[in-house]
Amino acid sequence: MLLVATLFIFSLFAAQLLRIQGFDAQSVSAQALKSRLHTSSVPAQRGSIVDANGTVLAASLDRVNIVGDATATVVYKKRVDGQVRTVGLAGAATDIANAVGVQPQPILTALQQAEKKGSQFTYLAKNVTPAQWKAVQDLQIPGISSEASSERDYPQGTSLAPLLGWIDASGQPGGGVEQLEQKALNGKPGKHVYEQAPDGTTIASGDNKDTPAVDGKNVQLTIDNDLQWYSQNALAEAVKKAGALSGEIVVMDPKQNLKAVASYPSFDNNNIASAGSSDLQSRPFTDAYEPGSTGKIITMSALLQEGKATPASPVVVPPTLTRAGTTFHDAEVHGTENLTLAGVLAQSSNIGTMLAGSKLPSSTIYEYMQKFGLGQTSGIGFPGESDGVLTPFQKWSDTQKYTVLFGQGVAATGIQEASIFATIANGGVKEPTKLVSGIGTGNDFTKPADDRSSQRVVSSSVATQITKMMEGVVSGDGTAKAALVPGYSIAGKTGTANRYDPKLGRYDGYTASFIGFAPASNPRYIVAVTLQRPTKGSIYGGDVAAPVFSQVMSYALKNGGVPPSGKQATPYPLTFQPEKSRKP
Amino acid sequence: MSQLTALPRPTAKSTRLPKRAATTTSRPSLRVVQHQDAAEHSGVGFVLLCVFLLVGGLIALLLLNTSRAQQSFAIDKLQAKSANLTDQQQAISSQLDDLAAPQQLALRAQQLGLEPAKNVKYVRKADGKVLGVAKASGAQSAFTVGTLPSTPASRAADATTSAASLGLVITKPKPATKDPKAAAKSDSKNAKNAKKDKTTSGKSAATSPAKSAASTKQQTEKKTGNADKAKATSTSTPKPTTTR
C-alpha cells in the first residue's frame, strides 16, 4: 500500500517535472527572463548649431530631472548625532535642496502634496546638472530617482535668438533654425536592454543588448557670429536712439551668403518664458513692409537694361506732379529741377522716378520685380518667412502703377531687399540666398542639397552703371553722406517710406532704411539697415539708418580683412544744362 | 561514477579474447582473481585525478566568475568615471562658450577700459604703401553693450550652481556690469569709464525686475503654440493706393 502511494506521489513529481522541463520549458524560461530583463532609453543628443567659423551658437547639455515617490520617502532614515532617526519628508527636502543648491521649501511642498494625494511620481527639481544629481543620489534617500533630460544652451543669447529659435519644455523646436533644420538636428534615441537582479544590480553574465542612440547632426550656418553681435548691438543702440518701434539689419556677401541677420527687440532663448511674443520672429524674414526709395533701384535697372535711358538721360522734375487724380510731391520742396537719371536717384526724387519710369509698361516693371525676387520667398524655407506683397500688374490701381516705381504699393522683406542689392553687387546675377552652409557630424560638414540656381537679372554693364549711380547717393550731393566709410567706396540707396501699420489698418509713421555695399569697385558685403517708425529726431533713412550702415559696414570690412579701396568714384553728373542737352 | 564502474571492462574483455582463441588449442585453467590483482586496477590514482579535475574545475569556474564580476564592477566604475568626465567636459566647454560670446568679451574689454578701434590703416606688403584712413579711438568710438538679456536671474543662477557643484571658479555671470559700485571701483582711475558703466548698468537693472516678474510658464506655452499664427498675421498687407 505504502509502495503504491509512494509511487503515485513520485509519478506526480515526475509528471510535473516533465511538464516544466519538457512541454512548457520555453514559456516558463521566457517568463523568467522577462522578469529579469529591463529596458532603458538612451537619449540621443540634439545636434549643435555653429557659425561659419565653428563658434557654438546652440548646444544641448545633459540634464537630469529629480523625481520623488513621496510614499517611499516618508520613511527616510538618517544618522543624526550618532542615532538613526526617521527624518521623513522634511529631512529629505532639506538634504536634496542642499545637494542641488536651491531653496528646500518648494521641494518640501511638492513632496507633502504628493503624499497627501498618495502620488508616487512628483518632479522635485528639473534640469539639474548630472553632478548635482550625483550629489543627490549619494544621499540614498528612498523613493528618489532620476529622469534623463536635456537643456538647450544658447551662448550668444539675444544677439541670435530670433534667427535660431528655441526649444520648448517638451523638447520641440520653436521657430528659427531649430525648426528649419529639425530633421537634421534631431537624433534618434537608442535602447539599452539588460538583465537585472532583484536588488537592482545588473547581472554581469546576463543578456545585454544595446541599440545605440543616433545623435543629431550638427548644422553650420553662413552667419559670422562676431559680425552678427556687432550688428545686433549697433541696431539695439540705433533703435533706442531713434525711438523706433523695431529694427533689422541684414548682412550678406554678393553670393548671398547671409553673414548677419539682426532683429531688435530680441529675446533671450535661454529663458523663453521672459520673451515678448512679438519679439520671437526674425523680422528680416517674417516682416514685409513697403521699401520706399530703395525700390527705385529696380526701376533704374529696368530702364537701363531695356535701353530706355542712360545714367545721363535728362529728366525735368517739376515741383509737383499729378497722375491718376493724385498729386505727388518729393520729400523736399523744390522748384523745377534739371536732373539726370543719376541725379534723380542721388536726390531720391519720386517725381523724377515716375517721369522716367513711365517709359516702361507696367508688365515690364512687374517682370523685373519678380526677377529681382519680390513676391517670392528666398527658398531657404525659414519658418514663417514672408514672400512680401506683390500684386500682379493687371490688378494695379491707376496710382499704384506709379507708386511701385518708387517702392510704395509693394511690400518686401529685409532679405528680399538685401538680395536686390546683392544682385547688382554680383554683376547682375542673382544667387540664391543661403543660411545653412553645411550639415554633418563633428566638424565634418557637407553642403546641403539645393535645387535653386543663380539667374542673370541685368547685364554686368548695367550693374556697373547702377553701382556708379549709387555711389552718387553717398557723394556730396546725395542723400546719405552719413553712410560713408573712410577709405572705402560705398554704393547704396536711402529709403524713407510711408509705413503701413497692419494693427491700425492705415499708414502710420515711416520706414527709414539704407541699403548698400562696399567696396563699390569689388563688393564684399551688402548691408541693409531698416528702422520702423523712428520718432526721435529725423525720420529719413539718410539720417537714421545710414550712420548705422557706416558702423556695421566698417566693422564688416575690418573683420573681413578687406583692404581699403580708395575714395568714391567720380559720380555721373547729377544735373544737366537745359540748353546743351535739348534734343535737335 | 559511471566512469569508475566502466573501467574494469577492458580487462575483462582482454581476458575473454584469448579464451576464444584457446578453444581450438589448449584451454588455460581458470582461476579466481586475487585481491592483489584487483588492487592493481581499483584506480585510486584515477579517482584522485577525477576529484582533482572536479575540484580544479570548480575552482577555475569560481575564479573565472569572480574575475568576470570584478571586471563588470570595474567597467561600471570606469563608465561612471567616463560619464562624470563627459559631464565635466560638457559643463566646462559650455561655460567657455558663454564666456567667449562677443558680448561678454565686449563687457570685459569695457571693464578694462579698452575701446574698439574705429578705423585702421593697412600696409600693403608688395610696395609698403599705407592704405586707408585711421582715426584715434576716443569717447565717440566707445560702444555700449545693448544685447544683454533683460532677465539674467535664472541663467546666472544656473551657471553659478553648476559651477559650484563642479568646484570651479568662474567669473561673475552676466550681466557683468550689474553692480555699479563694483564697476566704479574697478575703474576708479578712469572716471570717464566708470561713468559709462554706471549708465549701462542702470538701464539693465531698471528693466530686469519688471520683466522677470512677468515671466510665467503659461506665457511660454501660449507663445510656442501660437508662434506660427503670429507670423502669419504680422506680415502686412498694404493698401496700394495710398501714397503721399
A291-346 residue pLDDT tens: 988 889 999 999 999 999 999 899 999 988 888 888 888 878 888 888 999 989 98
Of A129, A506, A507, the CB nearest to B87: A129
Asked whether residue B11 carries a pLDDT value surpassing 60, the answer given is no
Which residues of chain A are in CATH 3.40.710.10 domains? 241-264+284-581
Asked whether residue B16 carries a pLDDT value surpassing 70, the answer given is no
Confidence of residue B219 (pLDDT cuts 50, 70, 90): very low
Contact yes or no for A403 and B240 at CB 8 A: yes
CATH number of A40-212: 3.90.1310.10
- In A, minimum Cα distance to B153 occurs at A271
Highest-confidence segment of A169-178, A272-281, A454-463:
A454-463
- In B, minimum Cα distance to A227 occurs at B102
Confidence of residue A435 (pLDDT cuts 50, 70, 90): very high
Residues of A whose CB is below 8 A from B217: 169, 273
Contact yes or no for B236 and A287 at CB 8 A: yes
Instruction: State pLDDT tens for residues A446-476.
Output: 999 888 999 999 999 999 999 999 988 887 7
Mean pLDDT of A70-81: 84
Residues of A whose CB is below 8 A from B102: 156, 159, 225-226, 229-230
Instruction: State pLDDT tens for residues A348-387.
Output: 899 999 999 989 999 999 999 999 999 999 999 999 999 9
Residues of B whose CB is below 8 A from A232: 147
Place of cell 537619449: A43
Spatial distance between the Cα atoms of B32 and B34, rounded to a whole number of angstroms = 6
Of A130, A134, A153, the CB nearest to B94: A153
Of A236, A274, A288, the CB nearest to B146: A236
pLDDT at position B39 is: 56
Residues of A whose CB is below 8 A from B228: 383-384
pLDDT at position A574 is: 83
- In A, minimum Cα distance to B167 occurs at A131
pLDDT at position B137 is: 66
3-state SS of chain B?
CHHHHHCCHHHHHHHHHHHHHHCCCCCCCCCCCCHHHHHHHCCHHHHHHHHHHHHHHHHHHHHHHHHHHHHHHHHHHHHHHHHHHHHHHHHHHHHHHHHHCHHHHHHHHHHCCCCCCCECCEECCCCCCEECCCECCCHHHCCCCCCCCCCCHHHHHHHHHHHHHHCCCCCCCCCCCCCHHHHHHHCCCCHHHHHHHHHHHHHHHHHHHHHHHHCCHHHHHHHHHHHHHHHHHHCCCCCCCCCC
How many CB pairs (< 8 A) connect A and B?
Answer: 236
Instruction: State pLDDT tens for residues A192-231.
Output: 888 877 766 677 667 778 888 899 999 999 999 999 999 9
Of A153, A290, A400, the CB nearest to B241: A400
Domain ranges of chain B: 49-100, 101-111+154-208
Residues of B whose CB is below 8 A from A59: 94, 97
Asked whether residue A498 carries a pLDDT value surpassing 60, the answer given is yes
Mean pLDDT of B71-88: 89
Pick the residue of B64, B168, B223 with the most A CBs within 10 A to test the interface with A by mutation.
B223
- Nearest chain B CA: its distance from A581 CA (Å): 31
Contact yes or no for B234 and A502 at CB 8 A: yes
Highest-confidence segment of A155-159, A301-305, B227-231:
A301-305
Mean pLDDT of A168-181: 88
Residues of B whose CB is below 8 A from A388: 235
- In A, minimum Cα distance to B174 occurs at A157
Asked whether residue A242 carries a pLDDT value surpassing 50, the answer given is yes
- In A, minimum Cα distance to B239 occurs at A409
Contact yes or no for A101 and B165 at CB 8 A: yes
Residues of A whose CB is below 8 A from B204: none
Pick the residue of A40, A62, A64, A129 with the most B CBs within 10 A to test the interface with B by mutation.
A129
Confidence of residue B42 (pLDDT cuts 50, 70, 90): low
Mean residue pLDDT of chain A comes to 88
- In B, minimum Cα distance to A411 occurs at B238
CATH number of A241-264+284-581: 3.40.710.10
pLDDT at position A464 is: 93
Least confident of A220-234, A478-492, B84-98, B220-234: B220-234
Which residues of chain A are in CATH 3.90.1310.10 domains? 40-212
State the alpha helices, DSSP H only, in A333-459: 341-346, 350-357, 362-371, 400-403, 414-425
- Nearest chain B CA: its distance from A168 CA (Å): 7
Cβ atoms of B144 and B153 closer than 8 Å:
no
Asked whether residue A569 carries a pLDDT value surpassing 70, the answer given is yes
- In B, minimum Cα distance to A395 occurs at B240
Spatial distance between the Cα atoms of A517 and A75, rounded to a whole number of angstroms = 72
